Amino acid sequence: MQLIATRIAANEFDRLLLDGVPLLDLRAPSEFARGALPQSLNLPLLDDDERHQVGLRYKQSGQEAAVTLGHKLVSGQTREQRLAAWCDWADAHPEGAIYCWRGGQRSSIVQQWLAAEGRQVPRIEGGYKALRQHLLHVTDRLAPRLPLLVLGGRTGTGKTRLLAEIDRSLDLEGIARHRGSAFGGRPGGQPPPAGFENALAVRLLQLQHMGPGAIVVEDESRNIGRLSLPEALIGNLATAPLVLVELSLEERVEITLEDYIVAGLAEREACQGEEGFAVFAAWLRDAMHRIRKRLGGIRHRELTALLEDALRIQAATGDPAAHRHWITALLADYYDPMYDYQLRAKADRIIFRGEPAAVMDFLDRQLGRAGFQP
């Protein structure tokens, strides 16, 4: 999508988001950290301290004085450095667009400065606020009407792996950057609530754009880590047909070992380098500690001892095999009873159950049979 207009109006927002048009976010870093768009990069006009100063001047002396102060703060070498970064971004993303909070002063100023350097970059009318409201409306409109097939199963059945093989899938845990259990934390943490909601809405637009057909989503509770699912989606998840993946305990232990231990360590080593194993070990200890009350004192101490033995052996030899002992006990004694209890309330929704290959065959037959409701 080539953007040549000086402004992008609200009726272009869906196409902007569906095409993944690169976006330059000119808000202050603290504003960006509270929520942004998936395809955005933050190169602010004003940093947090400068924005604070301009805000105080506005309250004390009005808009003209605030604008004058802003130009003073972003002048000389500071202006040159920031303008150079914006120009580099515009050169790398000629199809891109810029925005600030409301599409007003900040994006207008940067647009003018870029134009003076020969870069014609459109700005988004209404800024981030308008985009955010648009995406909230998308979720409210689409989430209750999604033709969902909910993928359930015990912990370790590889449901996330199956989702990754399905184009028409909604990976809520991937968007939330959390695997959904006490051991589900990911390096770098989760996005802020607004960022999660924005990314979710963009995915809903993509799924709608694919046309009629069922959408596969993993069975989730109201919360994924510290993030809450939108009410419009929770109600749909609670009533949609349920497809269960079934594997033996031994197979689930191997999947859990690969996805949480082997992959978990690799993720942290990629982020932390030599400190990766220490961070990995602390993450496992913290997760076990957070479920201590549900495990009970004796069982928690037993599992913690098995975990410490496994970490000691892994640190000395690099072999993660000893983790199988505590994983087996945790799945059989903690996660499976909890799953059985929850499944009893969902039994009437089950339309298919089987091993992964059979589930995939069933889903392949179902995916083209349902559509968005009018």
Which residues have a catalytic role annotated? Answer: 100
* Maximum CA extent, the chain: 71
Average pLDDT of the segment spanning 197-204: 97
Q: What's the rounded mean pLDDT across residues 168-174?
A: 95
Whether residue 161 sits in one domain with residue 61: no
Instruction: Look at the alpha carbons of 204, 234, 129, 190 in this order and tell me if their dihedral is positive or negative.
Output: negative
Task: Give the mean pLDDT of 43-59.
Answer: 95
pTM score:
0.90
What's the confidence (pLDDT) of residue 146? 92
**Per-residue pLDDT tens for 239-262?**
999 999 999 999 999 999 999 999
As a whole number, mean pLDDT of residues 305-319 equals: 97
- Residue 327's CATH number: 3.40.50
Same-domain pairing of 172 and 286: yes
pLDDT at 356: 96
Tokens of 20: 């993944």
pLDDT at 174 over 50: yes
Instruction: Give me the pLDDT at residue 2, please.
Output: 42
CA dihedral 189, 191, 192, 198 (to 10 degrees): -170
pLDDT at residue 184 tops 90? no
**Tokens describing residue 150:** 């909910």
Cα(263)–Cα(269) distance, rounded to whole angstroms?
10
Give the lowest-confidence range in 1-5, 74-78, 216-220, 308-312: 1-5
- Residue 225 domain boundaries: 145-374
Q: Place 369 in a pLDDT band, splitting at 50, 70 and 90.
A: low
* Same-domain check for residues 186 and 281: yes
What pLDDT score was predicted for residue 368? 62
Q: Is residue 135 part of a domain?
A: no
| Domain harbouring 108, CATH code | 3.40.250.10
Note whether 351 and 243 are within 8 A (CB): yes
On the question of pLDDT at 3 being above 60, the answer is: no
Query: Among residues 68, 93, 125, which one ends one of the domains?
Result: 125
* 353 shares a domain with 213: yes
Write a three-state SS string for 189-227: CCCCHHHHHHHHHHHHHHHHHCCCCCEEEECCCCEECCE
Q: Is pLDDT above 80 for 372?
A: no
**Pair 240, 339 in one domain:** yes
Task: Looking at the structure, tell me whether residues 282 and 207 fall in a common domain.
Answer: yes
Q: Is residue 138 part of a domain?
A: no
**pLDDT for position 249:** 97
Q: Summarize the confidence of residues 198-205 as an average pLDDT.
A: 97
In the chain, the number of structural domains is 2
